[in-house]
Amino acid sequence: MSLLTTKRALTTVIVCIVTASLFGQINTKRLLDNGRNALHFEDYVLSMQYFNKVLSVKPNSTEAYFLRGIAKLELEDYSGAKDDFSKALECNPFMPALYYAKGFAMKRLGEYEDAEKAFTKALEFTPENTEYLMNRIEVYERQKKYDKALDDINFLLSKKSTQRHKAYEMLFLEKTQVLVEKGDTIGADAVATQAIRENPKYAEFYSAKGLVSLLLKKDTTARRMYEAAAELGSKNISTYINLGLLNYRAKKYENALSNYSKAIEIDPNDRQARFNRAILRCEVGDWNNAMSDLDIIVNNHPDIDEAVYQRAVVALEIGEYNKAKQDFESLLRKYHDFLPAFYGHAQACEAIGQKRQASIDRYRAAKLEYDAMNGKLKRRKIVAAANIATTKSVIAEATKKFETGNSDYYNDKTRGKVQDEKASATMRKDFVLSPYASNELVRKDSRRFLPIVEKFNQRSGMKLTMTNNDIALSEQLSSIHFADIERIDKELSKSISDDTKAVLLTAKAINYIILQNPDSAIAELDNAAKNTAENDELWKLIRFEYGAAINKRMEIRLSKGESSDSKEIEQIREYWTECENDAELGLYATFNLGNLCYNTGNYKEAVLHYDRITLKDKNFADAHFNKALAKMKDGDFDLESIKNDLSAAGELGIYQAYSILKRLLDAESKSRKN
């Protein structure tokens, strides 16, 4: 059971602590703000550098310890997080959120008894807190304290506020699961029945009752429940795996194949659904399709012996003798006494003309058979049969829908797939000045070397390029930028010319932008502008960075759930518009303006900006890609022009464009058929 909503729950805790905190020195407040900004942008290592600086000044800062603990949680340093939460509690033992966070860290470490104590302590302050109770239910179950878990579940179900909470349905599923684990299958069946009465439109209640019916050997009821769940659009893979098994038992093979295929459609990487379908395909003689399924399983999971064995058997059937020989050999390397593998290997060897090896295999198999008959050897079996989805995989998968954060307790294999889908339709980021750029899989032009930037590098001592694929800072890299700011401050303390001073102040501002500190960056740019003439080459670079700093500040505000500021938007627009006519910065300023329009919902204006770029430079892949996305968002552009933009972006190396293009073509084809 995994009921913790990692990021949202802990973010809520952050808000509570921030609200309750009293700040001391203004510079400490600024450091905390910078650290929080870095957290919002998932620069966890950088954020810890800020919190370390706070703690060097205020070693009893509850908030700094807490926020650093959050960063460590995100980096899966649960021991370090637990230590930080413990230190925060030493500073302030009266904040329930700290006990909750510490309990979460201990739960991830498997320290369930201590986690239980931490959640219980948090509940002393707020006895009806749903999040705290949900987590205590989990650790009770982990310790097999089923009665205590049921007490908490029943308490939450009795609360009127819970009935309006998104966890209400999940609690019924949780109660069903706890009763099954306790061995009270009859009680679990009653709860599942009650749940269906409470909400007859919720698919996973039927799935849960289907499982309990299976455990009670009521196959007819189970099939009816699973069919109802499927009809209501269940996304629980186990619904279709178990329905497939029930249809298989009823010899409804076509229906069973359809059920397994639906499960694979939900998650193509689910081994159980794919293996069950492969076995059924073997049984009906669909050897080639069975081989396709088994290839996928074995290629991804070569340690699954049942799949390797079954693939070898299928390879014999379709005449792929070398493949069968290799699979049997891999099994015999692990199991020297596995009789079927010797016989299969002999058959494969004979088929490819290796008769001597076939004879040796049969001799060894006969000897093993003799030893087994005389009690000298236990027969080894590798079972290859369709399996029922387990209790946890059925109910926990439905329970998992309550989670909004990351969890490593239950199946999270669809997570990467969902992220890939999102990534394929994510706009290309703004161009910024940065010393870092990560190369993409296909494109190798992440760095754009501009003469104006190269001159600035020579004068400032920095190594900047124009990029829209910059990276999160490591601890070492963030330290370099803090050190560079100190270097610049030393240079500024000397007697230097105004133009040199302007260059150094601009360099200092860029360091602050990279360190997610836009307010300090803007202050340094103000000073730089005072020392720069408007006709100076540096002036345009300063204006470009003004736009970047204000845009960064706005992004931070939006990431906190605050609304955008129209005055800031106009400022960003003004600064980047000033740069549009520059021979070197112009295209990048125009691109960023397009992104600004895109992000504020002005899709038609965004398209105009991207169009201006592609008219000047038809090889500007990012502009083609974002233009297609803006047209799709707007909805008023013809499909052909969107496809042309995606095709151009894909041709120029943005391979994600082809994924979107394929979906558009599929939708177009489906529309024509209808």
pLDDT tens per residue across span 295-340 = 999 999 898 888 999 999 999 999 999 999 999 999 999 888 788 8
Q: Find out if CATH 3.40.50.2300 is the number for domain 244-389.
A: no
Structure confidence at residue 440 as a pLDDT band (50, 70, 90): low
Least confident of 46-50, 221-225, 485-489: 46-50
Structure confidence at residue 232 as a pLDDT band (50, 70, 90): very high
- CATH code of the domain made up of 428-580: 1.25.40
Q: What is the pLDDT of residue 94?
A: 94
Parts of the chain belonging to CATH 1.25.40.10: 244-389
Structure confidence at residue 10 as a pLDDT band (50, 70, 90): low
pLDDT tens per residue across span 366-423 = 887 777 666 655 545 544 445 555 544 444 443 333 222 222 222 222 222 222 333 3
pLDDT tens per residue across span 236-280 = 999 999 999 999 999 999 999 999 999 999 999 899 999 999 999
**Hey, what are 440's tokens?**
């993409």
Q: What's phi and psi for 336, nearest 5 deg?
A: -75, -10
Q: What is the pLDDT of residue 369?
A: 76
Q: What is the pLDDT of residue 391?
A: 47
Q: What is the pLDDT of residue 116?
A: 98
- What is the mean predicted confidence (pLDDT) over 585-608? 96
Contacts of 505 (CB under 8 A, 6+ apart): 488, 492, 524, 525, 527, 528, 531
Q: Is the pLDDT higher at 79 or at 584?
A: 584
Q: What is the pLDDT of residue 388?
A: 56
Tell me the residue ranges of DSSP E strands in 420-546: 432-434, 465-467
Q: What is the pLDDT of residue 189?
A: 96
Q: What is the pLDDT of residue 411?
A: 28
Least confident of 121-125, 248-252, 585-589, 647-651: 647-651
Please name the amino acid found at residue 185.
Answer: T
3-class secondary structure, 201 = coil
Looking at the DSSP bridge assignments, the partners of residue 434 are 465
Closest residue by Cα to residue 507 from 526, 521, 519, 497:
521
- What is the mean predicted confidence (pLDDT) over 76-85? 89
Q: What is the pLDDT of residue 432?
A: 95
Burial class (CB in 10 A: 0-12, 13-18, 19+), 334: exposed
Share the mean pLDDT of the chain.
85
CA atoms within 13 A on the CB side of 401: 21
Report percent pLDDT > 90 for the chain: 63
pLDDT reading at 516 higher than 60: yes
Structure confidence at residue 164 as a pLDDT band (50, 70, 90): low
Q: What is the pLDDT of residue 670?
A: 64
Q: What is the pLDDT of residue 401?
A: 30
Closest residue by Cα to residue 456 from 572, 581, 542, 514:
542
Highest mean pLDDT among 359-373, 552-566, 577-591: 577-591
Closest residue by Cα to residue 4 from 148, 133, 154, 91:
133
Q: What is the pLDDT of residue 167?
A: 78
Q: How far is CA 246 from CA 241, 268, 378, in A?
A: 9, 21, 33
Contacts of 536 (CB under 8 A, 6+ apart): 499, 502
Q: What is the pLDDT of residue 537?
A: 85
Cα separation, 561 vs 563, whole angstroms:
7
pLDDT tens per residue across span 459-468 = 999 999 999 9
Cα separation, 78 vs 274, whole angstroms:
35
For the chain, percent helix, then strand, then coil, each to nearest 5? 70, 0, 25
Q: What is the pLDDT of residue 49?
A: 87
3-class secondary structure, 430 = coil
Q: What is the pLDDT of residue 426?
A: 83
Q: What's phi and psi for 3, nearest 5 deg?
A: -115, 5
Cα separation, 613 vs 618, whole angstroms:
8
Highest mean pLDDT among 394-398, 534-538, 604-608: 604-608
Burial class (CB in 10 A: 0-12, 13-18, 19+), 552: buried
Closest residue by Cα to residue 97 from 139, 138, 142, 67:
67
